[in-house]
């Protein structure tokens, strides 16, 4: 009997939806307000018209049909200008402090070797570098969370939801989906972690899950380094157009994904009508904004730091295990010793600095020179540079003569030491060979590592998307944190001997001579769809309360991004398209598909009655 009643109710509901093009809940809410207004009109007599409040006057402009969206665009632009652009400038001041901490930790660890560094030095420094990469974004997050708090406390956040609701409802979302997407990176920059956290305010379970699953598709800040690298290499004349493509194609694809998910996986999810009461405008308080900003930042730091430590350690092990065999290690040691003998032969046995550099003295000098270079680069004026020279002169006067090309001061007079100058010249040759050998060791280690083997195993498939084994490794390492993609590429594309000062762009161009803008475009598109980092996946698991949604958020972007990368690279090559032509064709096709999906009616997101 109960099932018959439920079936009858569902049938009547379908009839109602078909007839009125809206849900019964919305009609009930509308009729309730109409009845309340009618009763109030019969029972209340106003002696004078209620004056319009300041909120009403502001909303007349802010929620205007044409001015409202323009103001929203200006607010979003200001939002990112302050948090991303200006916040990134602040990192120029915080990074030196982080670098100083890193140098301090390095100073108390075992000294580096001439070619092979001890594990007790490499692993801790790898962990420090990973943590520093996260902490470097703290100024951006502080500004980001502060601006979100201001928008929430002022009452404008509700207006954002109201303005975007009309567009989003066509794709199974509604106005409350706006801020999570903005925070995640509607434009280039953002973070999916606070974006997923912001979904908790969405009452509609269907829209909440759909928004949570598309937030990671937005362009988080960690994707920017790879974008900048590829755009600078392959689209230098179209940087603005390419960045506009990156910023908008993700929104277009995300709306299409939300619609498909709503029509399939979430078709039976519970929905709720989007009833929004606009609060009056308030002036945010400094205390309230700071408190919420610091609370959210601390939550971010507390949850992420431990995860990053574990991930960095795992990535290091996978990039270096099982390492060089004893045979290959002996080979590189023999090659190093050969160049060391050439160095000592070149400076001559009678050189007074030869005995100083014998045995462990050469490694000690290498450490000394590296420290001197870092200190000199940090010095900004003549006075600070003189202080650096004085410090290192006291540390080891003989070493200082060598690194300073034989020039030193004694008794107020500048003197020159020809023997030290000769050692300096010959050591540069030795150091060039040393860097080459270290580069070969790193590349061979990575190639033979677990991740290196996986990268090569995937190459027969990923080649259709234009990815070789080096790119595969970079993408695998980016799964933990997307910043790792460029860092891993920097480790893989090592310079040849004596060319360590070349940029990563130049080094990649030298090794990947057959790369075209189509390769770059396919990689950019794959990165726009790249699955969320591990901390974001954990946040999805926490907010959705389901492991299956976290797993789905992991694998569907990989499949979608890889399919689109194949279409761009292989399809572009078959059609003979250039990089820009393929970009335009892909953009138009994505826009048409998304627009067509928007016209598919969804019974739970139908337009309001009347």
3-state per-residue secondary structure call for 99-162: HHHHHHHHHHCCCCCCCCCCHHHHHHHHHHHHHHHHHCCHHHHHHHHHHHHHHHHHCHHHHHHH
In this predicted structure, the answer to whether residue 605 has a pLDDT above a threshold of 50 is no
- Cα separation, 252 vs 219, in Å, equals 12
Residue 552: pLDDT band by 50, 70, 90 thresholds?
Answer: very high
Which pLDDT score is estimated for 147?
A: 86
Q: Cα–Cα distance between 373 and 393 in angstroms, integer?
A: 14
31's tokens: 């009729």
What are 338-347's pLDDT values in tens digits? 999 999 999 9
CB 196 within 8 A of CB 180: yes
- Answer with the residue of higher pLDDT: 308 or 387: 387
Max CA-CA distance within the chain? 113
How far apart are the C-alpha atoms of 316 and 352, rounded to whole Å? 42
Residue 235 dihedral angles phi and psi, to the nearest 5°:
-130, 50
DSSP-derived letter for residue 236 is: G
Q: Which one is predicted more confidently, 321 or 462?
A: 462
Q: Looking at residue 136, what is its pLDDT?
A: 72
User: Does residue 308 register a pLDDT over 70?
Assistant: no
| 162 vs 277: CA distance, rounded Å | 10
- pLDDT(508) > 50: yes
Residue 343 pLDDT: 96
Q: Rounded to an integer, what distance in angstroms lies between the CA atom of residue 177 and that of residue 179? A: 6
Three-state DSSP class for residue 265: coil
Q: What is the pTM for the complete model shown?
A: 0.68
Domain residue ranges in the chain: 2-51, 168-274+516-568+575-610, 328-439
d(Cα 108, Cα 121) in Å, to the nearest integer?
9
pLDDT in the model for residue 498: 39
pLDDT given at position 497 = 41
Contact of 455 with 469, CB cutoff 8 Å: yes
Q: What percent of the chain has pLDDT over 90?
A: 34
Cβ neighbours for 60, distance < 8 A, ≥ 6 positions apart: none
Look at residues 198, 179, 190, 238 and name the one whose alpha carbon lies nearest to residue 217: 190
Q: Count the Cβ atoms, other than its own, within 10 Å of residue 578.
A: 13
Of 19-33, 263-277, 440-454, highest mean pLDDT: 440-454
pLDDT band, very low/low/confident/very high, at 607 (cuts 50, 70, 90): very low
Quick: pLDDT tens for 29-41: 788 888 888 888 8
């Amino acid at each position: 009997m109960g099932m018959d009643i439920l079936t009858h109710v569902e049938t009547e509901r379908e009839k109602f939806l078909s007839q009125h093009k809206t849900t019964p809940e919305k009609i009930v809410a509308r009729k309730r307000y109409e009845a309340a207004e009618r009763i109030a009109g019969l029972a209340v007599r106003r002696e004078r018209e209620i004056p319009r409040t300041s909120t009403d006057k502001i909303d007349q402009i802010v929620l205007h049909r044409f001015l409202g969206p323009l103001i929203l665009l200006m607010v979003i632009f200001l939002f990112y200008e302050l948090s991303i652009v200006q916040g990134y400038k602040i990192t120029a001041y915080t990074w030196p402090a982080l670098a100083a901490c890193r140098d301090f930790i390095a100073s108390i660890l075992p000294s580096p070797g001439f070619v092979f560094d001890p594990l007790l030095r490499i692993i801790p420094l790898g962990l420090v570098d990973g943590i520093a990469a996260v902490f470097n974004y703290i100024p951006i997050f502080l500004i980001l969370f502060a601006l979100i708090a201001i928008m929430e406390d002022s009452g404008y956040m509700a207006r954002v939801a109201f303005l975007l609701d009309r567009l989003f409802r066509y794709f199974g979302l509604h106005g409350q989906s706006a801020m999570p997407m903005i925070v995640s990176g509607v434009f280039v920059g953002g973070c999916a972690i606070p974006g997923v956290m912001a979904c908790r305010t969405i009452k509609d379970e269907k829209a909440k899950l759909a928004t949570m699953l598309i937030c990671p598709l937005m362009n988080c800040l960690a994707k920017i380094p790879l974008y900048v690298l590829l755009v600078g290499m392959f689209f230098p004349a179209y940087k603005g157009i390419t960045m506009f493509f990156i910023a908008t194609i993700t929104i277009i694809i995300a709306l299409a994904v939300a619609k498909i998910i709503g029509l399939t996986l979430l078709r039976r999810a519970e929905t709720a009508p989007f009833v929004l009461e606009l609060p009056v405008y308030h002036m945010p308080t400094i205390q309230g904004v700071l408190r919420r900003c610091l609370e959210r930042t601390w939550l971010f730091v507390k949850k992420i730091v431990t995860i990053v430590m574990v991930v960095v350690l795992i990535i290091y092990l996978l990039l270096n295990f099982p390492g060089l065999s004893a045979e290959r290690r002996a080979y590189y040691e023999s090659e190093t010793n050969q160049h060391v003998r050439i160095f000592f032969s070149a400076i001559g046995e009678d050189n007074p600095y030869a005995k100083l550099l014998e045995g462990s003295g050469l490694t000690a000098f290498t450490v000394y020179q590296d420290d001197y270079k870092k200190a000199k680069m940090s010095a900004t004026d003549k006075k600070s540079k003189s202080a650096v020279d004085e410090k290192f002169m006291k540390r080891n006067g003989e070493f200082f003569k060598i690194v300073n090309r034989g020039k030193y001061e004694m008794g107020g007079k500048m003197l020159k030491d020809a023997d030290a100058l000769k050692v300096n010249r010959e050591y540069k040759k030795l150091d060039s060979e040393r860097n080459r050998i270290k580069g070969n060791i790193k590349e061979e280690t990575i190639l033979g590592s677990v991740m290196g083997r996986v990268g090569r195993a995937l190459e027969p498939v990923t080649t259709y998307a234009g990815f070789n084994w080096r790119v595969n490794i970079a993408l695998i390492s980016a799964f933990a944190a997307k910043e790792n993609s460029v860092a891993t590429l920097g480790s893989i594309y090592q310079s040849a001997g004596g060319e360590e000062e070349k940029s990563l762009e130049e080094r990649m161009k030298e090794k990947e001579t057959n790369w075209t803008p189509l390769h770059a475009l396919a990689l950019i598109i794959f990165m726009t769809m790249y699955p969320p980092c591990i901390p974001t996946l954990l946040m999805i698991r926490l907010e959705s309360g389901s492991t299956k949604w976290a797993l789905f958020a992991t694998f569907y972007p990989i499949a979608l991004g890889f399919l689109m990368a194949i279409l761009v690279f292989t399809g572009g090559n078959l059609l003979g398209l250039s990089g820009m032509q393929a970009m335009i064709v892909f953009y138009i096709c994505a826009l048409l598909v998304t627009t067509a999906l928007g016209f598919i009616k969804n019974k739970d997101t139908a337009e309001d009655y009347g």
